[in-house]
Amino acid sequence: MRYFYADFLVVVKAGLPSHSLFSRRATSYKKDFIDCRLTKGSATIRVFRSLRNRNYLLFWSCDLLASVGHFIREVALYWIAYEITGSAMALGVLGLCEAAPRLVLGALAGALVDRHDRLRLLVLTQFASALPVFAFLALYLNGVLEFWHLLALEVVFGAIRSINPSASQSLLRDLVSSDDLMNAVALYTLGFNLARVLGPSLGGVSVLWIGVGGCFFGYGVSLVLSGLGILFIRLPRFQAGTGERNLLREIREGVRYSWGAPVILASIGAGYVLSVFVGTYQRFLPVFAKEVLDVGPDGLGMLMAAPGLGAIVSVMFLATIGEKWRREFLLWATATVTPLFLILFCVSRNFFLSVGLLALVGGGQISFRTISRVIIQIEVPHSLLGRVMSIFNLDQGMRSVGSLVIGAFATLFGAALGLGLTSLMSLAATTALFYRLMGSRPRARA
């Protein structure tokens, strides 16, 4: 009835003089009507509201393009590596060559991000990352590609890309207002997860249609286009510091700040714990599919897809109504429920219940990282943001340790009991960490 009344007033207003009381009331009702319609019927708009910002739209679309290309390239890379070697161990060594530079150079990259213009660093990273990609393409097209070439190029590629996480994530605060920061970080995570779903699927088809060389050429082009797109982002001119510069001292400043900020330290510590004890559980899902749940490849596909679906739903939740909850509570809750749901998954013997629990695990895992990034963005001074973000991102390097830990427990106790025990250790460690650093369970709302 109110919508009808508002529409009626707007129609009548057209025939009234602008100074009339009725006209002013019509204008007021029209505004209420529009606001009400936007509030009740535009949940989708609220999810993507950060994209209204031109700078963020450019950043998000360029990052999505490069991320999809990255996962396409990854499929092609491991395909050609296995064709050359026929060894599963060789694939592990190849992955280590790509991950090790990020783990070793992560803190150094954070210091460079704080020292220089983040936007310019991001552009240079995109362009420089294309160099080893096109070098691979030249070797491949000339028929001289060998496995050691892949290892060397992955080390170079990993070293260049080590700057990207800290530069891109610390740039978010400059692209949107503080009110939209949770939404912007959630959309950033959503874009990466969409790429993680779309990229491998497109990669498998692309290897068949355009070959390995075509996949690498496409990724190189996506990096160049991404760098060119980022050039159109307009931000205030970067003001470099004037004090004496010392990389080791700057890295220590980032570590010292993180150690002295309880909420930041809780985010980083919980991230490391989750990466070591539960972060690589998906690598062991084939064992659950075959030995625990007694399903075939189609069932394994559903188990593997469930965490990604949960992740997408969770970041959409955070993008819409996440600001209504205290960030400290969300941090504690997601760090707690992730291993808890994984324990329940290890106990479950019902396939569909297991799929649902894995969706909750994936949602909790991604939500934790999203909320941690938001807390770091808000709490950390701008001059230290890159260094603290790089310390937090080292949790991705901890996954290599996590594979060994979960693998050892699964070998000793079986997959279900072994993963259940590591999840229980994660739950105990994060609970103790939050109690030690934050005193007690954080309140849900402000």
Confirm if 54 and 235 have CB atoms less than 8 A apart: no
Quick one: pLDDT at residue 24? 40
120 CB-side CA count, 13 A? 10
CA distance 157 to 128: 9
Confirm if 3 and 26 have CB atoms less than 8 A apart: no
CA 224 to chain centroid, in Å, comes to: 22
pLDDT digit string (tens) for the chain, length 446 residues: 443 334 333 333 344 343 443 344 443 433 343 333 434 445 455 667 778 888 889 999 999 999 889 888 888 888 888 888 877 667 767 777 777 787 777 777 777 777 778 888 889 999 999 999 999 999 999 988 888 999 999 899 988 888 888 788 878 878 888 777 778 887 888 888 788 777 777 887 888 888 889 989 999 999 999 999 999 988 877 655 555 567 778 788 888 888 888 888 988 999 999 988 988 787 777 778 888 888 876 777 678 778 878 888 887 777 666 555 677 788 888 889 999 999 999 999 898 999 899 999 988 888 898 888 888 888 888 778 878 888 888 887 777 777 778 878 888 888 889 889 999 999 999 989 888 887 655 555 55
Q: Three-class SS of residue 283?
A: helix
- Burial environment of residue 40 by CB neighbours within 10 A (0 to 12, 13 to 18, 19 or more): exposed
CA distance 6 to 32: 8
CA distance 276 to 398: 6
* Alpha helices for 380-414 (secondary structure H): 385-393, 398-413
Helices (H) and strands (E) in the chain, counts: 19, 0
CATH, domain 254-446, list 1.20.1250.20, 2.60.120.620, 3.30.1360.120, 3.40.50.10860: 1.20.1250.20
Q: Residue 296: how many CB atoms within 10 A of its CB? A: 9
Quick one: pLDDT at residue 47? 67
**Token pair of 217 as six digits:** 């050429």
- Residue 110 CB partners (closer than 8 Å, separation 6+): 166, 251, 254, 386, 387, 388, 389, 390, 391
pTM of the model: 0.70
Helix pair angle (247-260, 385-393), 10° resolution: 70
**For the chain, domain boundaries:** 2-38, 53-235, 254-446
Write the CATH number of the domain with boundaries 53-235: 1.20.1250.20
Quick one: pLDDT at residue 6? 42
CA distance 354 to 341: 10
The string over 414-428, giving b where at least 16 C-beta atoms fall within 10 Å of a residue's C-beta and e elsewhere, is: ebbebbbbbbbbbbe
Quick one: pLDDT at residue 311? 83
